[in-house]
Each structure stands twice: as C-alpha cells, then as structure tokens.
Structure 1
Amino acid sequence: MSYLMPSEFATKMVDAGEEKLAMSTKDTLIRAFMAGAILALAAVFAITVATTTGSPILGACLFPVGFIMLYLMKFDLLTGVFTLVPLALIDKRPGANLPQLLRNWGLVFIGNFAGALSVAFMMSFILTYGYNTDGGAIAEKVSHIGEARTLGYAAHGVDGWFTIFIRGMLCNWMVSMGVVGAMISTSATGKMAAMWMPIMLFFFMGFEHSIVNMFLFPFSMIMGGDFTFMQYIIWNELPTALGNLVGGFCLVGLPLYYTHVRQSAQRKLAAVETRKAA
C-alpha cells in the first residue's frame, strides 16, 4: 500500500488546503458541482439497494463507491474543505486568509448544492416517467426520510436541533477520516481501502452529511414530502453543516495538525540542536 507516516500525510493535508484556496472560481465551482452530483447518485444507489434487497448494511457497504470516485477525480465536497482549508490559515501559508477561506466554502457550497439538486430533478423525472407516476418504492422511501429528518427533529425543539448537530459532527469525523485516510497511501487500492471503512460507518449509522442531504431533501420535496424548504434549512441543513464543520475541523484536522505538523517541526528543531551540541 506504500504507507505514509502521519508526519508525512499531515503536511499533505496543509498543502491540499492551500491548493484549494488558490483555485479559480471556475475550477472550484465545477469541481464542487461534480462532487455534489456524484455523491447524490451514490446516495440514491445505496437507498435503492437497501430498499430492493431489504438490507441496509448492503446499501452502506456500496455507498462509498461514489465518495471514492469523486475523491480520485479531485472533486471537492464541503465536508472536505471544512477540514483541510483552515489548516492553511493556521500554518500561515502565503495567500491564506479568512476572506479566501469564506470564499472557498461559499463556492463549494453553491457547487455542491447545484450538483445535488440537478441529480434530484433527474432522478425524480426518470422515476416518475416525467412526473406521470408516483415514483414507486424508492420515491416513497426518500419522502419518509425527508419528513423524519426535518419534522422528526423539529418535534423535539432545541434538543432535536442539537441531536442533528451532533450527528453532523459524527458524520464528518468519519468522512474526514476517509479524506485523510486516502493520503496515507500512494497506491489507488490503498486509498480506496482507507476511504471505504469510515464512509460505510457514517452511512449505516444514519449520521447527517450536508451534501447527501442537499440531494435527499429536495428530492423528497419533489416526490411529495410534507415539509417546507425553510423547515429543511432550519431543522436539517444548517445544524448538519455546522456539525460537519466542527466534526471535520476539530476532531480530524486540528488533532493531526497539532500532533504531527507542529510536533514534527519541534522534533526537527530538537534534532538540529542535538547535532550542533555534538
């Protein structure tokens, strides 16, 4: 698998964050659009498998295919840039500043949403033969998911809001472990294996992923889900995105940076001082 030590791939994380900040608006939007679209297709694929076979674990096992495809193509998800881009600021890389970070996050959000929404319309069209039928079991399943993950949380008030926030944290803890895990190997098979496990875990556990939800909830609304767009934003997308940010940055990006990038620099300095003393 050509395994890399954490001190090596942690530096690659910072490099990746710096590279994303430097990308043009066009490139950022296109990569984000493709990422949102591919992840949406993976989500409907996994739901279809789980619904038709009656095996949720099988759907979860196959969902990472979409994540792997978009990662290998270097497309960008909001969950990934939440983890990587702030590291470039902390490391004081040239050109890395707060306005650039917010610009990157905003463009990736727009691109991801546009890609996911496009797939939502395409899938709803083909499942209903141009909106002439009810869409069958898949459409019904997604409609119920949309209602449960908006109205279901809203019924619990503040506690429901924080429940989805924590689910968002746990989700991007695992998703970002997949993003970073892909950096531990220089081979394609090694990258795929490292990504597969945490992505499968998050999907099967029902944690909340902001980009997957950008597909699920518009699709659910198109197929007759009984909730409003504002209910989706307030009781799902907003707390999920905030949870994704905290989970990816605080539980993956910062721990690796402060224990391997900064610590690595300290060790190098100590080694230099030791050689001088000798």
Structure 2
Amino acid sequence: MSYVAPKDFVTKMIDAGEAKVFMATRDTLIRAFMAGAILALAAAFAVTVTVQTGQPIVGALLFPVGFCLLYLLGFDLLTGVFTLVPLALFDKRPGVTVRGMLRNWGLVFTGNFAGAFTVAVIMAVIFTYGFAMPPNEVGQAIGTIGEGRTVGYAEYGAAGMLTLFLRGVLCNWMVSTGVVAAMMSTSVSGKVIAMWMPILLFFYMGFEHSIVNMFLFPSGLLLGGDFSIGDYLVWNEIPTVVGNLVGGLAFVGLTLYATHARTGASRKPLLTSDLPPDAAVPADTTPVGMQ
C-alpha cells in the first residue's frame, strides 16, 4: 500500500529534521536557494494567470505546482524546517542542539531569500524590458500587492499587526500540513495530491508566506510599489516569519509529535470484576434478530 500510517510518517518527520541539522552548509544553502527560486517562479506564474484570466481561483489552483516540484526535488523552505527540525531536538536525537537548529534556520532563510530575490530581479527586468519602459499589467499588479500587504496593514496599527501575524500562523499550518501530507504516501501521485490541497487553500485565502513574500515585495519595490524596505520588514516579513514559526510548529509539528511519537498511556478496558459489588451491569441492548 502507498499509504503510510501516522506513527510511521511522524518518525520520518523526526528523521528529516535530524538530517537537516547535520547537512553541510553548502548543500543547505543550495537547496534553500533553489526552493526560494522555484517558489518565486510559481508565485509569478500564479499572479500572471490571475491577471490574465481575472480569476484568482485559477492562479491558486496552479500555484502548488512550484511547491510540489521543490519538495520532490528535495529542496528546503524555511516554513518546512520550522516544523521538522525542532522535532529532532524534542526527541533528543544525539548531537541535535538549539545552536544546530538555529544554524539550519539561518542558512535556509539566507538561501530562500537569495533565490527569491534573484527571481524577483529577473522578473522585474522581464516585466519592464530591462527597465526601459513602465511595468506591464502583471508588474503593476505585483506592485499593488506589495503596497496592500505592508502599508495596508500599517493603516490599522496593532489590529493590522495582529491580522498579519495570524495570517502567517494559518499559512504555515497549511504549508506544513502539505509537507507532512507528502510523507503519507510512497507514490509520486499520492504525494502531489496530498500537497496540492493545503497549498491551494493557503494561496487562495491570502495567507502570509515568508518565502513567497521574499519575491513579491522586492519585486514590488523594483516595479515602483509605493512602500519602503522598512515597511516590508516591519509590516510584513518579520511578523510573517514569526507567525509561520508558530503555525507550523504548534499546529503541525508538536501536535503530531505529541500524539503519535510521545503518546500518553493507553486506558485499560473496564472489566466487570473492576466494578463495585453494588454497581449495575449494563443490560444487553442488542436488537432482537441481531443476536
């Protein structure tokens, strides 16, 4: 069977987290760079489709192709390592330390940003014919996204910041569910189907993904978006990263680890001999004809 039971795929989650801690710096950076670049291309593709069709659902339906490709190629996103790597620490795997976990997160963040930013520059050149003309329709749409999801939050102050943070939480709840769902199957088709659904949900709902934003916001700045680097960092990237960490770890990693890797003691069945002498024994309620 291609289905992997929860107890088994949670073990795979812990093993994956441990492997990422000990991965060579070079390999970690390359894999993270490619993950950021592929996801950025998928985001550019989704925005292009949305603008050209006028149907956001079409772009959301097609965006997961990038996530599926980067996962199947073994590349790493920050949102995924936020969920997997701490499990190896909680499981007390030999040699796994807080310092090692933070090193992995830092390297993956750096690689993801470099990959996403590279694609942002390339797409900005394409949208403007080498900055020789104003951005085309898709480029203008990306600039608008950057404004709405930075200064748009800032207009509401603390309420905007809370909304941004919670969108980051919900995003990585879904994205990390996609990462874990891929471990439920041993077939490529099963992995893709399992990943597609939660990624579609997060993108269509407009949740905040720190790596997608590493493409959208630098692109928006290059294409004339009316916001600053400070707006991007304070009113999007930093709160989104924190929300992604909380969402992936609290709602996916820890919940699965607690109930499938470190389960509570099983309850014993209640036997008739365990009842007090004066306790009534439940009557047989089996319907007549079924006995």
* Counterparts of residues 31-180 of structure 1 (less than 5 Å): 31-180=31-180
Partner of 1:191: 191
Give the AA of the match of 1:15. D
Give the AA of the match of 1:88. A
Separation in 2, partners of 1:66, 1:13: 21
Give the AA of the match of 1:178. G
Identify unmatched segments of 5+ residues in structure 1.
271-278
Partner of 2:220: 220
Identify unmatched segments of 5+ residues in structure 2.
269-291
**1:193-221, Cα deviation, whole Å (9 max, x unpaired):** 00000000000000000000000000000
Partner of 2:233: 233
CA drift at 1:92: 0.2
How many equivalent residue pairs? 267
* Counterparts of residues 196-211 of structure 1 (less than 5 Å): 196-211=196-211
Deviating beyond 3 angstroms after TM superposition, the runs of 4 or more aligned structure 1 residues are none
Give the AA of the match of 1:113. F
Larger radius of gyration: 2
What is the TM-score with the length of structure 1 in the denominator?
Answer: 0.94
Partner of 1:254: 254
Separation in 2, partners of 1:243, 1:191: 26
CA drift at 1:19: 0.5
Separation in 2, partners of 1:61, 1:89: 35
Give the AA of the match of 2:245. L
Partner of 1:9: 9
Q: Does the residue aligned with 1:232 lie in a helix, a strand or coil?
A: helix
CA drift at 1:162: 1.0
CA drift at 1:34: 0.2
CA drift at 1:132: 0.5
CA drift at 1:46: 0.4
CA drift at 1:21: 0.3
Give the AA of the match of 1:89. L
CA drift at 1:254: 0.2
CA drift at 1:133: 1.2
Partner of 1:275: none
Q: Does the residue aligned with 1:263 lie in a helix, a strand or coil?
A: coil
Give the AA of the match of 2:252. V
What is the TM-score with the length of structure 2 in the denominator?
Answer: 0.90
Separation in 2, partners of 1:135, 1:160: 29
Say what the alpha-carbon RMSD is for the aligned residues.
1.1
Give the AA of the match of 1:63. F
**1:246-273, Cα deviation, whole Å (9 max, x unpaired):** 0000000000000001129x67xx9xxx
Report percent identity of matched pairs.
64
Q: Does the residue aligned with 2:183 lie in a helix, a strand or coil?
A: helix
Partner of 2:29: 29
Give the AA of the match of 1:23. M
**1:124-157, Cα deviation, whole Å (9 max, x unpaired):** 1111111101121101101110000000001111
CA drift at 1:95: 1.1
